[in-house]
Each structure stands twice: as C-alpha cells, then as structure tokens.
Amino acid sequence: MFRLIALPALILSLLAVGVLPAMAQAPADSAAAPADTAKTAPAKPAEVKTPAVLYEKAKLEVDGEAEANGSINLLFVPEGGKAMPFSVAVLKESKKEDIAKAIHTPLTLAAGDHYKVTVSGKEIKIEKAKKEFPKFSVTVEKVALPGVTVLVKKG
C-alpha cells in the first residue's frame, strides 16, 4: 500500500520541479502554438551548385516526349569566359528530335564562333572549332518539362 501512494507522490514532485513535462497541460490560447513552431522551424537547406566539368567535346542527349508545355534552362560557359544562360520553351507533345532542334539554335548563339554546334536526331554535339580555343562547360540547370530528360555526356 505504501508503494501505491509513493509512486503518485513521486510523479507529482518530479512534475513540480520540472523534471517531467506536464503532459496534461495544453496551451492557454491556440495562437501561441504557431509562434512556437516558427521559432523551431528547420533552417532552409543551402542551394546545391552543380560542379562544372570542362570539355573539349560534349553532347546533349534528349529523351522522351513533352507531356505538357514547359522549358529547359541551360548554361554554357567557356573556360575563363562569361556564363551564357539560356532557356528553351517547349510545347506539349514535342518529340525528342524537335526538342534537340529547339536547343540547337540558342546554344549555337551562346557558344559563339569558337565552338561548333551540330544537331543530329536527339543529340546536340558541341566541340571546339580550333584546338587552341578554350574548353567549355555546358550544364542543364533546370528541366521543367514532364516526360523529358536532357543529359550532358562527354564527347
């Protein structure tokens, strides 16, 4: 019988000194709850930056068919040069060959006359026009186009 009385007394004493949290206590007003969660919200993760790989020759490979209207954002950067971002708008039901042709024109403009850009089917090939010209990187920044993937490959 002593043990039955001692256990509740022990719990009450631990609650009083703050060792055990008060489970039955609810916040007095419901407006206090969102303020507490704002203080403990997790920090926004840092933006991940894709490392640039420098190429002598590279190719972009398009796969799939556009299931909706969308866009593809790419970045062309000659070694030691200015970054040239560009975007390509793509219509629903565009096939991979049509998307490759749509990427070809702005990529040719971004690359300039130091680089040769050709398209064949679903592939866009990029290479230095002359051996002494600098290497380059090409990065797919964002594909907001359901059903389509764009890969960068060596050579």
Structure tokens at 17: 């000194």
43 — pLDDT class (breaks 50, 70, 90):
confident
What's at 84, amino acid-wise?
Answer: M
Place of tokens 């565009």: 94
For the chain, list the domains and their CATH numbers.
57-154 (2.60.40.4390)
Residues in the chain: 155
Q: Please answer whether residues 59 and 100 qualify as being in contact, where contact means their C-beta atoms are separated by less than 8 angstroms.
A: no
Is 0.85 surpassed by the pTM of this model? Answer: no
Tens of pLDDT along 102-149?
A: 999 999 999 999 999 999 999 999 999 999 999 999 999 999 999 999
3-state secondary structure the chain: CHHHHHHHHHHHHHHHHCCCCCCCCCCCCCCHHHHHHHHCCCCCCCCCCCCCCCECEEEEEEEECCCCCEEEEEEEEECCCCCEEEEEEECCCCCHHHHHHHHHHHHHHHHHHHEEEEEECCEEEEEECCCCCCCEEEEEEEEECCCEEEEEEEC
Residue 1 pLDDT grade (very low, low, confident, very high; cuts 50, 70, 90): very low
**Of the ranges 23-27, 60-64, 86-90, 112-116, which one carries the lowest mean pLDDT score?**
23-27
pLDDT above 70 coverage of the chain, percent = 68
Q: How far apart are CA 135 and CA 128, in angstroms?
A: 7
